[in-house]
Chains A and B, each alone.
Chain A
Amino acid sequence: MPPETTKERAARIADRKYFQRPDRLTRVKNGLSLAALALTLPLLIWVGVVLASGRGACVMSPGPVTAAHAPWDDRCDACHQPFQGIHNADRCDTCHARAAHFAGQSAEANRCASCHAEHGGRGASLVRPLDAACTGCHRDLPAVRPGVDVAFQHTVRALADDHTLESRSVRTFDPNKDRALKFSHAVHLSPGMALDRNNPRPFRLGDIADKVEKDRYGTLQGTTDEGARVQLDCRACHRLDAADFGFKDGAPAGVPRAAVLPQRAAGGNPLPITYENQCKACHPLTFDDKEPSLTAPHRAQPAQLHTFLEGTYAARLVADRLPLRELRIGADWRLDRPEEPRLREARKALDEVVAVAERKLTLSGNGCAKCHLFDNPEAPFARQTVRPARARDVWYEHARFSHVAHRAVSCQECHAAAAPAAEEAPPPLIELEAPLVPEVAKCRDCHGPRQDAGGGPRGVARADCAECHRYHNGGAPSQGIGAAARDPGRRLDRDTFLGGGPHDGGSGPARPAP
């Protein structure tokens, strides 16, 4: 048999190019790939159309909007107008005004979406921007806003990093200059308010004249024993909810309840201290030892008190001793005729008792001077002026603190200086107290990265800027979230509101200045 040639040998394989043809698996794979491209490529074309026209782009939503904006989840034009990126054109002004962060801030620099990131899901928070939104400027403020002298810290990156320890309000507060009220927390938190533990005359429950108040404070310290020393604690004066004071009528007499003790208060800050609510029970403004039922009105300047005292004693004189009916009325219709000897005596007696009462109010433990400071203490009583009691309503002008959120923590954890230092030692009599506002170091005990220091693990509570700081109304820090500066340009009817606001090219007429 002749030898087989290469060609003949190769001819045994009927299909020598089999490897160049795809097998069934490859054909299916290629077919599926083409199908996938056929399904998705129109999406790419559609995106091009959307980018060009802006129509039908709602399906491109990067996620559901927050619960607050849920009614407009499928109404892109409620926020995006014209339909562009929110950074270029938003319609937040329809419902919210852009309250400025600082005076003179331009609207361009105050874009809502720069900090408030939407489409984070129903449960997301719009008021929790990343720290970078703040530290972008505040890490080096002089470089960002050259020439602007701001009163607060210029460079800060994080609470746990280089945040200032004291708030500016605390740092700049001088008790001797800025305090207008004498008050010692340590004394008031000691049993019987005694400066000395051996004080033979501590303040006892029985010393509270008003029975209602006596019961109230007795209930607070869990006793009805009138001989028990009065022992106050923080909640005796500082409450977050008005109902906790236990007044049947909602407020003590003389207090405008709705203003001072509002119902269902937010609880962020303790309710205001009023003389009638927190002081009067132990410090009644009595001025006559013989008639302890006589009390002077609170919130009255000495001149007004002088008038009050004169009127009070004059009425008594008239009612008790002066035979007014016997007075002859002269031709000029005057009653205080100087020529009338009995009237002169009455005038003299009146001046004497008023002077005694004024001295009592000025100097005694229950008088005005017990708590208040006077601008001109050397002048006669009627010409003196009581300093306004409230020098600082808000300690954190650009931050916030919620007592409700921290209710599980003992008051002394943050306000340790308020309590007596030790039971054995007499409480210091510091009537012009330094602020009891804690330093930021105290916040860092809980807010910040986890740290296993002595005494157990600490930290991990939120420490982002927005946890404490506010942004809007920065130029008017006393304004709250309800400030008119945040109101929209115009109010909408329900249908327009739910329809995403008016689409007439504007969000309404200019808002009048608040």
Chain B
Amino acid sequence: MLLNDRSHRPWCAAFLAGTALAIALFLWFGRGQAHWPDGRSGLGLTYGVIAAVLIVFECLLWLRKRKPFRTMRLLGPATLWMRAHIWLGLLCAPLVLLHSGLRFGGWLTMVLAAVCALVILSGVTGALLQNWLPRLMTEQVGEETIYAQIDAVMSSHAVETARVIDDLCGLPPPTVATAVEHVGGGRLADDGPVYRTSTTQRFGQVGGTVVTTRPAVERITGAESLRTFFRDFAADYLLHGAAGNSPLRSPAVCDARFRQLLAELPPAARPVLEGLEQHCARRRQLDCQTWLHFVLHFWLWLHLPLSAALLVLTIVHALSAWRY
């Protein structure tokens, strides 16, 4: 959800107006007083109640994303909820600050304020990241695929490459395919003499991964080093990427190894080697996608747990304030 989208303007204006109104009332009621109005004053209490209601509303987004509310049209579009979540959440910051009377309270209220600040900060961080990183991902990761399917996609590529290499080099035990299975790849599918492969292609403004097929290759003498290279280094890298132990994680090492192998292999085996190099490059991009995906979502590790804590602490604060 882009913050510079037009649909955010009324929300932004409402947030600014609400903040200005809250500050103006705060200054008006606090003028000439020995201390600013805090939660014990009528105005401060009003701010506190509004902030508490907003916090509860913010937490309702979690429910909105879950069954059966996820598909309820009655609740309005999810984008509307997200806009409200962002801007009303931001409005909590001045309200909580003014509710405190610009002073620290006891440990409970301090923890509550700190948690609230962290929730808002992490939320703002997330909103900014989600405005910036997807664009970066589009630019940097041409081979982007579904995050959860990265390993499956690369496993498929590894298996198919293993079969091509097996065909290219014959089938001396142990086969490359077995090696792939050994390092954690998927099982081989019996596709006959035709192999699937995929490439990234772009037609005008439209780009994406295209699955193609190609015939099986014939056996070529002198390509054993390719099988050894694949078994020892490439298979692990294709399957595990940056999380594995393959030296191909380093682009420089990877490039040097492929150059060296290119010089050793007979010319007929070079297309297979180039295909393998493309798969390694694809793996590198998907590693980048994995990292960006992590950055894009890791703030939720802070935002969501702290929001849960904030909700509970708000209830505790409300109960104790009401009681004492």
Instruction: Name A residues whose Cβ lies closer than 8 Å to a Cβ of B.
Output: 1, 12-15, 18-19, 21, 23, 25, 28-29, 32-33, 35-37, 39-41, 43-44, 47, 50-51, 57, 59-64, 80, 84-86, 117, 119-121, 124-125, 128, 130-132, 158-160, 447-449, 462-464, 466-467
Contacts and interface: CB of A to CB of B under 8 A. Distances in A.
B28 to A, nearest CB: 9
B211 to A, nearest CB: 9
Interface of B: 31-35, 37-42, 103-109, 146-149, 152, 186, 189, 192, 194, 293-294, 297-298, 300-301, 304-306, 308-309, 312-313, 315-316, 319-321, 323-324
Contacts, number: 131
A60 B41 contact: no
Contacts of A37: 308-309, 312
Nearest to B303: A29
A40 B34 contact: no
A363 B320 CA distance: 77
20 contacts: A14-B152, A18-B149, A18-B152, A23-B147, A28-B301, A32-B305, A36-B306, A37-B312, A43-B313, A44-B312, A44-B315, A47-B319, A51-B323, A60-B324, A80-B324, A120-B103, A121-B103, A130-B41, A131-B32, A158-B32
A36 B115 CA distance: 11
Given A12-B189, A466-B34, A18 B148 contact: yes
Contact of B35 (A33, A128, A158): A128
A487 B278 CA distance: 91
A35 B34 contact: no
Nearest to A449: B31
A99 B313 CA distance: 39
A62 B106 contact: yes
B32 A464 contact: yes
A160 B313 CA distance: 41
Given A61-B106, A63-B104, A449 B32 contact: yes
Nearest to B37: A130
A44 B314 CA distance: 10
Nearest to B297: A25
B312 A43 contact: yes
B108 A40 contact: no
Contact of A464 (B33, B109, B306, B320): B33
Contact of A41 (B39, B147, B312): B312
B304 A33 contact: yes
Contacts of A448: 32
Contacts of B194: 1
A50 B108 CA distance: 14
A119 B324 CA distance: 12
Given A47-B319, A59-B108, A467-B34, 6 more contacts: A19-B146, A25-B297, A29-B304, A84-B324, A131-B33, A132-B42
Contact of A85 (B106, B107, B323): B323
Contact of A119 (B106, B149, B306, B319): B106
Contacts of B189: 12
A128 B32 contact: no
A33 B40 contact: no
B67 to A, nearest CB: 11
B104 A43 contact: no
Contacts of A33: 304-305, 308
